[in-house]
Structure 1
Amino acid sequence: MSLKFYFLFTTIFFTSLTGFAQSYEKTDFGIKASTKTAIVEIQFYSSQIIRVVKYPVGKKFDKKSLSVIKAAENTKFTINKKDSILSLKSTSIEAILNLNSATITFKTINGSPLLSEKTSEALFTDFNDSGIQTNSVAQSFILDKKESIYGLGILQNGKMSQRNQKIHMVQNNTWDFVTFFQSDKGYGLFWDNYSPTDFSDTPEATSFKSEVGDGVDYYFMKSNNADGVIAQMRDLTGQVPMFPKWTFGFWQSKERYKSQNETVEVVKKYRDLGVPLDGIIQDWQYWGDNYHWNGMSFLNPEFSKPQEMIDDIHNLNAHLLISIWSSFGPKTPQFQEMKSKNMLMDFQTWPQSAKEIWPPDMNFPSGVQVYDAYNPEARDIYWKYLNKGLFSLGIDGWWMDSTEPDHLDIKLEDFDNKTFLGSFRKVRNAYPLMTVGGVYDHQRAQSSEKRVFILTRSAFAGQQRYGANTWSGDVNSSWENLRNQVPAGLNFSLCGIPYWNSDIGGFFAGAYNKNGNNGSGAKNSSYQELYLRWLQFGAFTPMMRSHGTDIPREIYQFGQKGETIYDAIEKTIHLRYSLLPYIYSNAWKVTNGQSSMMRALVMDFNHDERVKDINNEYLFGQSILVAPVVNAQYTPEVIVKTNEETGWDKKENKDNAKNPGIDFSEKKSKKIYLPAGTQWYDFWTNNKYKGGQEIEKETRIDEIPLYIRAGSIIPFGPKVQYADEKKWDNLEIRVYEGADGEFTLYEDEGDNYNYEKGKYTNITFKWNDSKKVLTIEKQKGQFDGMIKQRQFKVVRISANPENQQNLTKFSKVVDYTGNTISVKM
């Protein structure tokens, strides 16, 4: 074929009414078109994912994504053109490009509209980025008036649907931004830009506008439901590894344990009390003064025998996470080495002063600087010292604080800092992805015997691939902030990042200390109620972690056994441990099936219009409806105002609630909506209710309202003091009748990557509701130490019509040796 013929074959020219020459050419994955306003590329990354790139005519666009790791697949698609309208269609989705306006409309293959670009806003605006002439970039879209959208990261706005929002997206302490949203219409959109970005949703348009970009770059993905959209997002940006089993137990922490003796004694006290605990977290300053900030070594004389401390914790069958940061003090070897190689950035970060006071005394600047995590050599240096000083001692995981990172007293010129990938402005929001990814990649390269576990304060798209659980930052201890955490976690999960948690009890709790007496708040009824309700909510998040300042949070601070609050805390922790088989099996569904652990109701009940903006209920797994109590019922709500961004900018509240005698035995109530399309069992009473209605639930201080979906099969584990204390050879299997159901119990070696080699087992339980038969299928797979013989106590849960107490329970003990068995109930 001659070059001339090939050019005529692949390129179509036409002249518009304005006389502007427009063209398009077919590429390996889509098309490249020249329009009046831009060069437009439409690329199929799969039959369900389309990448859209737009950049100025006469310019080039060459970008390696930090978030997207998927390469475009060879996808079958067709091209049709009529006048100035160009249609590209795969087996799942259609993109229609208007060659005159450079706008794109996305439709289903049946022609139903999904999303359309809007033309009113300029795509590119000239921008000088630290001396480099580039663009600010923007794209507007038109959404249906009644459409709901979710995602955008961890947002402290208390909203479930993110319509009618204007959000300035720059990573900070308590807001973690992900430039992604998904719609209840079954599509998602990832805006692949890392600079400060404005998201806006108004009745006129929904838009992203970023300060820096050589061009517009976004991915549109289509599926039938929210799980499918999440699967597409993870296909693009990475799958989720398994966490160690012990990370799903209970974690105790505070700001901060000041000696190794104090840290170990906390674990010992839990063991003496018989209260389950799997981990303790050591916060900052084990390295000594602020000049040695984040030295990754135990220079503080109160931690003079770190190996002994770690061994003591391990001998108590607990695990240790330790605080590491994104910055270094000037007297650390990390600082000196990175400084010599221009790997540090110059802006104000925490801590600003060498003295431990607030406000900071700038006569004694700390000299602490953030490192350039975008630089692969800097990430190598970071791990070199982390490995030598901490990992080699047997530390179990990393508490990566300030991964956004802390940026205080912000000045515009701060964003001119040069990084390995250009200006800090250009890559600002991807910082947590780079620093967390650096630790994950290095530990994985060094060892497969210990699963990476990272607790991080910030995140960006793709971070789910790095073994990280993100917490919501230093939120205040208030009922308002407790309420905000529910939709914050759910929207974060809807971005495809499934592991999230919050400081149980809130971080800044000083307003609850009476008469300025630090630490007394644990005996303050107002704080006791808030803490307990937050703990109950935390038991149904992917990580159950108690942490904060001003008020110690260990269970024994709240009283002693036999007292109402103490007993309620212990009951909640035991409940978490009883559900570990269910939780760990759901973690496998996250890894192997692209599922999510915290599930907004719209994920499973999209047909029910009433659930689409519910911000105080969710599913934990696909069986348990969680409706946490998020309003004070026994005490006044204390309004707490502190500034998370500036660290310790807080004042004791002299007008805090008094501590009158509170009768926590009083019965209260809460309204709960039960989604339509199924029946629901009250977890505590087993009363059965029809879905699609709001009910009045009687509440107790020691119980969180929980409802089990009809057809659910839930395994309950033994009473333990830590996750691996007992094998799962005698589980209770509860079957909630009313619909057919299925559940797969997952087990593996618990803390290595052998599961990636197929070393794990699955046992699938199937319930036939009409026949009242539970089939336990043949065990699949194997691993060292697997259980070969066990007993299941099968409990069928049935109930008379709603609000009737005449519960019927049928139970049978079944011997199981790995072969299929059917149990007639």
Structure 2
Amino acid sequence: MFGRILGYEILDNKVKINFSNNIEAKVEIINSEIINFFVPIFKKEQKSKAIENLKCVETKFTVESLDNFINIKTNTLEIKIYDEFKVDIYNNQGKLICADYREERNPYVKNTAGRIDIALQEGHKPNEHQEYKVFIPKCMEDNMYFYGFGEKTGHLNKKGYHYKNWNTDDPSPHGETYDKLYKTIPFFITLKEEESFGIFFDNTFESDFDLGKENANYYYFAAVDGNIDYYFIYGPTIKKVIKGYTYLTGTTPLPQLWSLGYQQSRWAYCPDTNVYEIANKFREKDIPCDTIHLDIEYMDDFRVFTWDKEKFKNPTKMISDLKNDGFKIITIIDPGVKVDKGYKIYDEGLKNGYFATDKNGITYTNWVWPGHSVFPDFSNTEVRNWWANNQKIMMDYGVSGIWNDMNEPASFNGPLPNDIKFNEDGNIVDHKEIHNAYGHLMSKATYEGIKKETNKRPFVITRACYSGTQKYSTVWTGDNQSTWEHLRMSIPMLMNLGLSGLSFCGTDVGGFGFDTTKELLSRWVQVGAFTALFRNHTSIYTRDQEPWAFDKDTEDIYRKYVKLRYKLLPYIYDVFKSGEVTGLPLMRALLLEHQDDEETYEINDQFLVGENILVAPVVEQGKKARMVYLPRGSKWIDYWTKEILEGGQYIIKSAPLDTCPIYIKEGSIIPNYPDIKYVGEKDIDILTIDVYRGDKDTSSIHYQDNGEDFDYKDGKYNLYKFDMNNKESLEFDINITHNGYNKFYKGYEIIFNNFVAKEVLIDEKEVEFSVLSGNTIINVNETECKIVLN
């Protein structure tokens, strides 16, 4: 395709390479660890939906033309470009870490016995060999592991899998064989011999990733159309790869604090008396809750941005009443606009040409919930601004956030044809190019509209997305099922979403389709309490699955873990604030923090919350115990019993139905809130600090702001630094290192686990303390102080 290398030229941070077949490739040095490879085989313009306002770092690099290749060197990487644009990448020690595959493509031959027609009669379908316009094969090695890809079924390590990126609404039960779902995240991380790199294939067309399923000698990424446009992101740690990827595509912004609380949903809470009833039960039963979601039934005949005034006679009053009791209302908005003359949204969009058209320029219609529907052209800036301005309609009612659904886009009368036209700011493009980014662009418009209207951190939840959506929206994993298989699968799915930059993610607790059971719901809430988005949601045809829907035992278990979630909110908020800079998620695969421990590479049913809390839920029916791996390099403390355990070992943990195994890493300092029914119920004057002594000195940063708006961007926040020094005595220092927010804690309750003090000094003055179950508890009335325990 490319031919021989003819020469090259350097332009700023770019190396342009000319090939004999009249093709020019560009190698761009983003920084010393991130390299972009671009070839304009579809369009000359390099335009990204995921990357906005990219800033290349001024980087020293050298370029040499050697015997049969061009050699590009940064301080970190060495890139060798050969004829046919074959690329090999080495680290700065000369170790080959990523090599293009040179042999012919050779798919594994499957024996059909010449009788495909017989198998087809029963519904069996052959896996057809597909040809691509863009095809990048890389050499596979035995000791490679693959992670990322966003929301995909299957195990944590994706080696041996094949996935397709084509955002798809499929309500049938998703199993491990599903190669495509709602989201397109064309990014993965490769780990080999404790060294990692990532590849982001920035192509919105239908794309495929094969991790050795076709042939064990190579893996590939490919697309049916578009340009060669991919970024190599070097680690060598996975943390650095994620930081590099989110440097390109954006990090998850700090959310409003209430959005990290518990959220209740179903299809559908209506009429308004039903919503009041649900809210009242949460308060009566002392189960914390911040948010209630309204599904499509709240709308007037499914017209977006409207209310059914029979079911919801006075939405403003209802939302105001619920807000007074601490509840925020989230309303669903789909992209499908009802074809209905006299309906404001339809009339405006039609008049201004805001909807996608067919190849003849006629507004395209398909069938969704409202019936005949048209689809806003979110590729167009003017349309996105119009959609953003429409968010005011819902904000004026008092709605606190928007739930974008059906935005693959979904349609009932067959999928949107590939040749449907979109007007991308003057460039007419086909649906096949826009499809995978449609939900992303809708979320962007929604986010910007809410921000403009409220000046608060927008809460947007979306089903479909593309790389970069984390800047605008939280995500959930779509229409899962109330089955143990889906509970098990949700954990590696959410861990891989986090590894793919989508930190604010969750799954429908209890399952959306089918009927949950009390045991399944009890175990699922034990996972949900530690996921970033903590929402219980179920379908219109399923049994009730609110916390009280079964019996007292189930309700008590549910309450226990929702209360635990609220207790841990300051820790969770701290992780989100840090992640706004680092790109790291709340819910983490063990290997993210323990890359030097190979035992962590394929653990599917355990995860970390931040770096300090390890959760090992029970995800099999009837199990009352499970094996837990504790990563090496530190001790771990059983959260419930305070037993101290050595890392680097497997243990058997008893786990009756009300117990989720949880372990705290030694040296951890975990801030806790008191018992609250919702965020903002009362001022948190006394912060509880849960301390787990270790062998080494440790420190922790705790963050505090108003939890709502963007004032923190102007420095209006507080930072508390907690230092723990293990000398002859145990020393614990509290200092405020930034004081831009006008509310401070009046004091602290500090729990020193597994430490019995004989004497406690605060600022050199002896004070009273208590010892309970082997833990020393101190009440501190100072904002800053030095504590010594002897």
TM superposition score category, shorter chain reference? 0.7 to 0.9
Deviation of 1:152 after TM superposition, in Å, equals 0.5
Equivalent position to 2:468, from 444, 448, 462: 462
Give the match for residue 766 of structure 1.
Answer: 723
Relative to structure 1, the CA distance from residue 311 to residue 542 in structure 2 (aligned partners, 3 Å threshold; closer, same or farther) is same
| Residue of structure 2 aligned with 1:580, choices 569, 575, 589 | 569
- Residue 443 of structure 1 aligns to a residue in which SS? helix
Aligned residue in 2 for 1:140: 137
The answer to whether the 8 A contact 1:334-1:381 is kept is no
Whole-Å separation in 1 of the counterparts to 2:411 and 2:89: 39
Contact residue 629 and residue 670 of structure 1 kept, 8 A? yes
* Distance in 2 between residues matched to 1:774 and 1:376, nearest whole Å: 57
C-alpha distance in 2 between matches for 1:250 and 1:718: 16
* Cα distance per residue 1:308-352 (max 9 Å; x no partner): 011011111111111111211112322232234443347999964
Aligned to 2:29: 44
CA deviations over 1:653-689 (Å, ceiling 9, x no partner): xxxxxxxxxxxxxxx2111111122111111111122
Q: CA deviation digits over 1:530-581, x for unaligned, max 9?
A: 111111100010021111021222222223xxx3111111111111111111
Cross-structure match for 1:160: 156
Equivalences for residues 363-512 of structure 1 within 5 A: 366-387=371-392, 389-408=393-412, 410=414, 414-421=417-424, 422-448=429-455, 450-466=456-472, 468-510=473-515
Amino acid aligned to 1:319: K
Question: Distance in 2 between the 1:381 and 1:552 partners?
Answer: 38
Give SS of 1:557's match. coil
- Aligned AA (2:401): G
Residues of 1 paired with 2:369 and 2:385: CA distance?
A: 28
Residue in 2 aligned with 1:200? Answer: 210
Distance 1:318 1:231 in 2: 35
Distance change in 2, residues 1:236/1:298 (3 Å): same
Call closer, same or farther: CA 1:699–1:810 in 2, change over 3 Å. Answer: closer
Letter of the structure 1 residue corresponding to residue 76 of structure 2: S
Amino acid at match of 2:221: F
Structure 1 letter corresponding to 2:334: W
Identity %: 27
Question: 1:23: which partner in 2?
Answer: 7
Query: Which residue in 2 is equivalent to 1:63?
Result: 46
Aligned twin of 1:650 = none
User: TM-score under structure 1 normalisation?
Assistant: 0.83
Contact 1:150 1:491 in 2 (8 A): yes
Tell me if structure 1 keeps the 8 A contact 2:335–2:376: yes
555, 558, 577: which is aligned to 1:569?
558
Q: Which residue of 1 is the match for residue 518 of structure 2? A: 528
Task: Tell me the distance in 2 between the aligned counterparts of 1:690 and 1:530.
Answer: 31
- Find the counterpart in structure 2 of residue 743 from structure 1: 700
- From the superposition, tell whether residues 442 and 386 of structure 1 become closer, same or farther in structure 2 (CA, over 3 Å): closer
With 293-302 and 543-552 compared, the bigger mean Cα shift is at 293-302
Count of residue correspondences: 717
1:815 has 2:770 as partner: no
Contact 2:686 2:745 (C-alpha < 8 Å) held by counterparts: no
Segment drifting more, 67-76 vs 457-466: 67-76
Per-residue deviation, 1:771: 4.3
1:53-80 Cα shifts (integer Å, max 9, x gaps): 1245xx8621221111213232211112
User: Contact conserved, 2:132 with 2:222, CA < 8 A, in 1?
Assistant: no
Is the 8 Å Cα contact of residues 329 and 368 (structure 1) preserved in structure 2?
Answer: yes
Deviation at 1:40, TM superposition (A): 1.8
Alignment of 1:651-690 (within 5 A): 668-690=624-646
CA separation in 2, counterparts of 1:465 and 1:241? 6
Aligned to 2:123: none
Equivalent residue number for residue 803 of structure 1: none
**Alignment partner of 1:368: what SS?**
strand
Q: Aligned partners of 1:481 and 1:204: how far apart in 2?
A: 32
Change over 3 Å in CA distance of 1:21–1:48 after alignment to 2? closer
1:305–1:609: structure 2 CA closer, same or farther, 3 Å change rule?
Answer: same
Q: After alignment, is 249-258 or 327-336 more displaced? A: 327-336
Q: Residues 693 and 788 of structure 1: is their aligned pair in 2 closer, same or farther, counting only changes over 3 Å?
A: closer
Residues of 1 paired with 2:104 and 2:365: CA distance?
36
> Which residue in 2 is equivalent to 1:644?
none
1:11 match: none
Q: After superposition, give the CA deviation of every residue in 1:260-290 in whole Å (9 maximum; x if it has no partner).
A: 221122112211222211111111121222x
Match of 1:282 in 2: 294
State whether structure 2 residue 617 is matched by structure 1 residue 628: yes
Q: Using a 3 Å threshold, how does the CA distance of structure 1 residues 286 and 186 change in structure 2: closer, same or farther?
A: same
Query: What letter matches 2:384 in structure 1?
Result: R
Letter of the 1:418 partner, please give it: K
- Provide the C-alpha distance between the structure 2 equivalents of 1:771 and 1:451, rounded to a whole number of angstroms: 46
For 2:780, the aligned partner's letter is: D
Structure 1, 396-405 or 167-176: larger mean CA deviation: 167-176
Show the counterpart of 2:747.
Answer: 790
* Structure 2 residue ranges without an equivalent (≥5): 106-130, 170-180, 359-363, 757-770
SS in 2 for 1:265: helix
Report matched runs for 1:216-235 at 5 Å: 216-235=228-247
Deviation at 1:30, TM superposition (A): 2.8
Secondary structure (helix, strand or coil) at the match of 1:558 reads coil
Partner of 1:651: none
- Any conservation in 1 of the 2:100–2:138 contact (CA below 8 Å)? yes
Rounded to whole Å, the distance in 2 between the matches of 1:427 and 1:352 is: 19
In structure 2, what is the Cα distance between the partners aligned to 1:477 and 1:21? 56
Q: 1:53 aligns with which of 30, 38, 54?
A: 38
- 1:706 deviates by 0.8
1:285 counterpart letter in structure 2 = E
AA aligned opposite 1:205: Y
Q: Tell me how far apart the structure 1 counterparts of residues 730 and 684 of structure 2 sit (CA, whole Å).
A: 23
CA 744–350 in structure 1, closer or farther in 2 if over 3 Å, else same:
farther
- Which residue is equivalent to 1:188? 198
Q: Determine if contact 1:349/1:407 at 8 Å carries over to the other structure.
A: no
Partner of 2:354: 343
Q: Structure 1 residues 188, 309: CA separation in 2 closer, same or farther (over 3 Å shift)?
A: same
- Give the distance between the partners of 1:427 and 1:566, measured in 2 at CA: 45
How far is the alpha carbon of 1:156 from its aligned partner?
2.0
- Structure 1 residue aligned with 2:112: none
- The aligned residue for residue 660 of structure 2 is 704
Please report how far the alpha carbon of residue 724 of structure 1 lies from its aligned counterpart in structure 2 after TM superposition: 2.1
Q: Give the distance between the partners of 1:116 and 1:406, measured in 2 at CA.
A: 39
The residue type paired with residue 267 of structure 2 is E
Cα distance between partner residues in 2 of 1:790 and 1:349: 61
State the one-letter code of the partner of 2:189. Answer: Q
Structure 1 residues 41, 576: CA separation in 2 closer, same or farther (over 3 Å shift)? same
Counterpart Cα distance in 1 of 2:142 and 2:132: 31
1:504, CA displacement in angstroms?
Answer: 0.6
Partner of 1:481: helix, strand, or coil?
Answer: helix
**Which position in structure 2 is the counterpart of 1:619?**
608
Equivalent in the alignment of 2:595: 606
Residue by residue over 1:683-737, the C-alpha shift from the partner in whole angstroms, topping out at 9 and shown as x without a partner, is 1111122112211110111121111111111122101111222333323322222
SS at structure 2 position matched to 1:313: helix
CA distance in 2, matches of 1:350, 1:282: 24
Q: Which runs of 5+ in 1 are unaligned?
A: 1-15, 123-133, 355-365, 513-526, 635-667, 800-805
Preserved CA contact (<8 Å) 1:403 1:436: no
Q: Secondary structure at the match of 1:763?
A: strand
From 761, 769, 775, the counterpart of 2:732: 775
2:389 touches 2:449 (CA, 8 Å); kept in 1? no
1:409-449 per-residue CA deviation (whole Å, 9 max, x = no partner) reads 545x701111123101012211121110111123223442x
